[in-house]
Amino acid sequence: MLRGSKVGLRARHEEDIPILRTELYDDVVNASRAEAGPWRPVAPGSKDRRLVVDDPAEGHVPFSVVELEGGTLIGTANLWGIDTHNRVAHIGLGLLPSARGRGYGTDVVATLCHYGFVVRSLQRLQIETLADNTAMLRSAESNGFVREGVLRSSAWVMGEFLDEVILGLLVEDWKPKPKPQPGG
């Protein structure tokens, strides 16, 4: 498991799937804002790539996000669009409604940066998010991501076009968060 200061990123477990389906993917508004395509229901037992336990795709690494204190499932995170030639990847995350607004998103982004830069030896990480997603923008920028551009009216979400913000972070600009010291 990858450890941040508040969260752990671990492999997806079968018992995570019903919780993620119910609390993230069955929420039409939230799922519509998080996905690049239209919402569609996910049937129980589906092999939907967002929920699979063992995704064999090399360009996609899904994680379940758990609280370090207690191990409770609080969301999902992933590195996707991994390009090993150019050494770039994209970051995505989704927190359960009960976990939002508690600083977990910032810690998830920090932990994904560690995974991307240290474990995968990537050169660049990128985040695309809706321009009104202040929580993700705050999480990205507090981890050193820089706004690189706005894609005007590029996302069709629940009956309207919304702008998307592109943020990037290069390994040489990354400042890893200090790890908590034992007993401190």
Question: How confident is the model over 62-80, as pLDDT tens digits?
Answer: 999 999 999 999 999 999 9
**Cross-strand pairs, 182:** none
Does residue 184 have a pLDDT over 50?
no
Instruction: Give, for 139, the enclosing helix (H) or strand (E).
Output: helix 134-142
Query: Is it the case that residue 44 has pLDDT exceeding 80?
Result: no
Residue 50 confidence (pLDDT) above 80: no
Contacts of 17 (CB under 8 A, 6+ apart): 51, 53
What pLDDT, in 10s, does the model give residues 106-137? Answer: 999 999 999 999 999 999 999 999 999 999 99
Interatomic CA distance for residues 8 and 120, integer angstroms: 17
Closest CA to 133 of 111, 165, 95, 158: 165
Q: Are 104 and 95 in contact (CB under 8 A)?
A: yes
Single pTM value for the model: 0.88
Torsion-angle region of 59 (φ positive above 0: left; ψ -120 to 50: alpha; else: beta): alpha
**Residue 182 confidence (pLDDT) above 70:** no
Amino acid 28: pLDDT: 82
Highest mean pLDDT among 32-41, 47-56, 84-93: 84-93
Query: Does 13 have pLDDT greater than 80?
Result: yes
Task: State both tokens at 95.
Answer: 């927190």
DSSP 181: P
**pLDDT given for residue 52 in this prediction:** 67
What local confidence, expressed as pLDDT, does residue 56 receive?
Answer: 73
